[in-house]
Amino acid sequence: MTAFKILLVEDEASWQGILKDYLKVALKGTEYPKNPIQIIGTYNEAKKALESDGPWDLLVVDIRLGSQKNTFGKFLVKRANELEIPTIVVSGEITVSDVRNFLKEYKVYDCFSKDDFVSQDKAFIESVQIILKQGNSNKNNIDSQVDSVENTLASSITNNYALLIGISDYLHINRLNKTMIDASDLYHTLAQNGYQNANMHLLIDKQATKIAISSELNWLANSTRVDDTVIIFFSGHGIQQTAKSQTGEYLCPVEANLKDLENSCISSKEFITILRSIPAHHIVVFLDTCHNSLVNETQEVKLDIKGGLSEAVLTALAEEKGRIIIASCKEEEFSWELPDMRNGLFTHYLLEGLRGSAARPDGTVPIMRLFNYISDKVPQHCSQHPLIKSNAENFIIAISGN
């Protein structure tokens, strides 16, 4: 396996230790030299190392070095771009203008503020691992990410689409408490973060019939283009039919009938087919389907069913390039609704992340940073672990406070 050379430029001893530890976590499991991370605390030494001690696979730099504030660090970022060295900035007192300039002009891969680094540590590790895994193709991937940032900031994400579905009052199966609220709150959050109302459709409760959901999925297939970004959010019941004589997996519209799943529900095969027909290359599907109140125990045993969708189906949904599937929990877990939260546990942190907790200092919210935030926060309450299946690069899903 390839050995990686990382240059860490940081003049504060405490932060040298913090960042070195996180870099070691990112490198865990790879074959690398005993001391793959070179730490430098001054601009002159760092500039010399960039020029003569390379090639470097990654530069992690604090743009505030000594008394010159941002000046020296910015020179290093600029030079790293000229040398085509992938760069991650971790700095205090970093402004929105700084970040956008780094991302667009100097093609920095990611930026982190020291002020909220504790909540972003997993996102930092993820960014490092993505850079290391990309290897020789890294420059093209960074260019692609920079183009995404430029397009997103320029358009205020006017080319983003969303279909949000939340069903509480089912006609034939058990009611859910917060799923309708989840979809509605996500709609309003996205509207506050730059999504255009015309590009978002909301289906709640009696509106969310099988025909209506299928029609809205077709709307996405007919309305979006390759460069667009699409969010599909479904909060409601999902079902796995487990009888040996008959198996299948389904999303449950409001009229779902356990005795006629094929005709009253949307099968996983139907969902996979329509998802493939959507041309957008950035599609995120959020599935909050494994609730603990599907049917009572007697019915469940009699009908040979269980809630949620299997990991195999989630994998199949993500097979097409550009697809990311995020489930609220693992297959054998429940998706919880806690009494002290307005929203379901998963959606609570999805909303919190979009509103700024998972944002970079410039306000942009990359999808992997959002997932890392959710997957870190949710298990702190109960045994629920969000799951991701991905066949896409890390792209921007929203701009917080846009």
Catalogue all structural domains in the chain, each as residue range(s) with its CATH number. Answer: 6-153 (3.40.50.2300), 156-399 (3.40.50.1460)
Report d(CA 160, CA 201) in Å as an integer.
12
Structure tokens at 326: 């995020």
Interior angle at CA 244, CA 239 and CA 246, nearest 5: 55
Q: End-to-end distance of the chain based on CA atoms, in angstroms?
A: 42
The pLDDT profile of the chain, 402 residues, written as one tens digit per residue, is 456 789 999 999 999 999 999 998 888 866 655 558 999 998 889 999 998 887 898 999 998 876 555 567 788 998 999 999 999 999 887 777 777 778 777 888 888 888 878 777 888 888 888 887 765 444 445 444 544 444 544 444 668 999 999 999 999 998 999 999 999 999 999 998 889 999 999 999 999 999 999 999 999 999 999 989 999 999 999 999 877 667 899 999 999 998 899 999 999 999 999 999 999 999 999 999 987 655 443 354 456 788 889 999 999 999 999 999 999 999 889 999 899 999 999 999 999 999 988 988 778 898 988 998 999 999 999 999 999 999 988 888 998 865
Bridge-based pairing state of the strands 323-327 and 387-390: antiparallel
In contact, 374 and 386? CB cutoff 8 Å: yes
Q: Is the pTM of this model over 0.85?
A: no
Residue 306 parent element (H or E): strand 305-307
Q: Residue 226: which residues within 8 A CB-CB, separation 6 or more?
A: 279, 280, 281
The secondary element (H helix, E strand) that includes residue 285 is strand 282-288
Q: What is the DSSP letter of 109?
A: S
- Contact (CB, 8 A) for 365 and 398: yes
Joined together, the tokens standing for residue 212 give 């209506």
Element (H, E) at 286: strand 282-288
Pairwise CA distance, residues 399 & 250, whole Å: 33
Nearest Cα neighbor of 367 from 332, 329, 323 is 323
User: Phi, psi (5° rounding) for residue 65?
Assistant: -120, 115
